Amino acid sequence: MSPNPNPRAPLPIKVLAGLGVVLIVLPLAGLIQRAAWSSLFEDLSSQAALDALQLSLLTSLAATALALILGLPLAWVLARSKLRGRSIIRALVLVPMVLPPVVGGVALLSAFSLRSPLGGWLHDVFGLQLTFAPAGVILAETFVAMPFFVLTVEAAIRQSDPRVEQIAATLGASPAAVMRRVTLPTVAPAIGAGAVLAWARALGEFGATVTFAGNVAGRTRTLPLAVYLALESDPNAAIALSLVLLVVSFAVLVSQRERWWNNQ
């Protein structure tokens, strides 16, 4: 029991807090109010919209998978290994979280464009071109989204007691069995949460994608890019696509309610 369970907030604080809520809710309400509900289905089933939707789903899921495959071992190393320079690696890995996405796009461009040594080599040897291609979208989305996954999972691994793994070893579990039957199941909820977070971030990615992969219909024009483009020509379609993204965001929040809502 806290000594003062219901402190009365001073009026200015209440007003400012209320304004904060309004600032966030008002635009969302505007979006819903402006939606042309009667033509919603039509707007969403246009070829351009369907293409963007399909591309977004595909690339964001691929980016999430990539973030998982690379991010899980990375999170484990950051949480458990006694590697020197571990904190520097962590700082580097988390840079995309605070970096303006456009800068991320420029960075990717400098590393992977056809004119860069690496990009040129990839093209010459494997025939692989990342710019103006879905693969480039996936790379841009992974670049931006993976830190969310790594951060979430690393915290969970750090919090799990390494002595539980030691007990598993005394019971006869090989290191691989300890990882498979104890470590991973223990942090499974965090892996799920991190994947959902990373996926939501990948789905909404705009700046890095448009800078690095361009805005090619059917190849790199994801939902956010389609929304931005449609705003000029077909505002109703833009709002319809925005609603789709809003619904997805809410779904992510609901799926994570244990994590973010039950903070009492």
Partner 1 sequence: MSLNLSIKKSLSERFCLEVELSTPPARTLAVLGPNGAGKSTLLNALAGILAIDEGCIELDGRVLDEPRSGTWLTPDQRNIGFVAQDLLLFSHMSALDNVAFGLRCRGMSKTQAATRSTEWLNRFGLEGLENRKPRQLSGGQAQRVAVARALATDPDLLLLDEPLAALDVSVRHQMRRELRGWINEYSKPTVVVTHDPLDALILADDIAVIESGRLTQIGTVTQVSAQPRTPYVAELFGTNLIGGTANGNEVAAGRATIVSAESNEGPVFVSISPNALSLHASQPTTSARNCWSARVSEVSMAGQSVEVKVQTQEGLDLRIGITPAALAELDLQPNTNVWVTAKASQVQVYAA
Residues lying near partner 1 in the complex (CB under 8 A): 161, 163-164, 166-174, 177, 181-182, 185-186, 188
Cβ distance to partner 1 smaller for residue 20 or 162: 162
Could you tell me the smallest distance in angstroms from the CB atom of residue 179 to partner 1? Answer: 13
Could you tell me the smallest distance in angstroms from the CB atom of residue 170 to partner 1? Answer: 4
Cβ distance to partner 1 smaller for residue 67 or 168: 168
**b/e map 167-195, b = 16+ CB within 10 Å:** ebeeeebeeeebeeebbeebbeebbebbb
Could you tell me the smallest distance in angstroms from the CB atom of residue 178 to partner 1? Answer: 8
**Residue 115: φ, ψ to 5°:** -85, -15
Cβ distance to partner 1 smaller for residue 168 or 238: 168
Cβ distance to partner 1 smaller for residue 161 or 232: 161
Q: Provide the 10 A C-beta neighbour count for residue 197.
A: 21
Cβ 236 vs Cβ 43: under 8 Å:
yes
Tokens linked to 227: 């929304």
Cβ distance to partner 1 smaller for residue 167 or 247: 167
Could you tell me the smallest distance in angstroms from the CB atom of residue 186 to partner 1? Answer: 6
What is the secondary structure of 26-85 as a DSSP string?
HHHHHHHHH--GGGHHHHHTSHHHHHHHHHHHHHHHHHHHHHHHHHHHHHHHHHH---TT
- CA 247: distance to chain centroid? 16
- What angle in degrees, to the nearest 10, is found between the helix axes of 47-80 and 184-203? 140
Tokens linked to 248: 């997805």
Cβ distance to partner 1 smaller for residue 185 or 235: 185
Cβ distance to partner 1 smaller for residue 50 or 169: 169
Could you tell me the smallest distance in angstroms from the CB atom of residue 258 to partner 1? Answer: 15
Could you tell me the smallest distance in angstroms from the CB atom of residue 161 to partner 1? Answer: 7
**Residue 172: φ, ψ to 5°:** 105, 10
Please give the radius of gyration of the chain, using alpha carbons only, rounded to the nearest integer: 22
Could you tell me the smallest distance in angstroms from the CB atom of residue 261 to partner 1? Answer: 21
